[in-house]
Structure 1
Amino acid sequence: MFYGQFVSGAVYLTTDGSGLPIHEAAEPSPGAGYHTSLAYEQHDGAIWQVWTLVPDAGTPQDAALMLAQIQAAALSDDDALKVPALFQLYEQGHVYAQGDRVLWQGVLYKAISGHTATSTDPSFDPRHWSKVVPSTGVGEEVAEWVSGKTYAKGDRVTKYGSVYESLVDGNTLEPGSFGSDGAWAIVAGSN
């Protein structure tokens, strides 16, 4: 055991055994993007080593935001709509995976499939993006799809026990049928 004196946040070792005992702590192994910082505290009649994990870049607020963004990826669409600012802004040329959500002009969009974004605006690319909308609530009535009727973008219908939302204006395709993937998105499945 080492002994020392604690003066203005610094520890001065003593060679004659006088002073306070110094309690050492094992340095933690930081994950990627972090490093450790050593400090000392005096309390309980001893000097204590204290290790802190510090982000390599940015501020602790930046690190907190990054952590929140990582956790936001696991949120349901309904919960994601409550915190849209946690999602990255849509970026043309970026590679997106199926299910990735992005923010564009205050609206949250979800990738229908994995792709490299070529459009300047996700609303202009309904083949790859759908607007994130609240799920159908319990007791909410959604009309059955009607053959021959034209549906606008955002309209919801029920077909085959599921609720679909139209991804395009002038939609006459039957939801759930072959070739309707780019025209309809399932927002609530059958139980």
Structure 2
Amino acid sequence: MANGYLAGGVVILSADGSGLPVVETAPPECPVGYRLKSGWDGAGTSITQTWELVPEEGTAQEAALALSRMQFQSLPDEAAYLVRALADQYVDGMTCYGPDNDAGMPVTRVNYYGDLYRFIGSGVQVMQPGWNPVAAPSLWARILPGQEGSGDEGPQPWEQPDSTNGYSEGDRVTHNGRLWESLVDDNVDEPGTDNGFRWKDLGPAEGVDA
């Protein structure tokens, strides 16, 4: 097995065996109207080949996906979370638009290893190596389940936010077997620890343990 490095989505094999193991994978079956697009995932202990189904150019599937992705960035967070599979995958070199951009573009949201992130950097920026949502948290805010009603099936378990993605007034979450509603914006406190100033206890959360 060869070793190498992942740079800008390209695998660079090393001659001296340094770097991470490069793991090639078999392509999945490809239905009619689609093609397979190969990529690489270097987030773990190896660089593993990935596959994505992409609609063939000129097909109805391709047109529908393109239209959906154009509309995606204009959705509010709660709706975007429900269809987060439409978000573009983060890649180095992509152009991202912040909330104060002069281009009049919607704020960029990306999918990074299954989580949805909102770009909070200034203006318009081209992503450089090391600027991904995990490595550069000052540029990104993770959209948490339960924020602005974004849970797939009602209120979701509370997760500890940071200073960039606190819960908003009206958000509902479950925590320690109870249902809570945020009373303020930018709420980063844990429900039940704030003496009722930032979270309202709505009673037992039926059917959940969190």
Alignment TM-score, normalising by the size of structure 1: 0.43
Rg larger in structure: 1
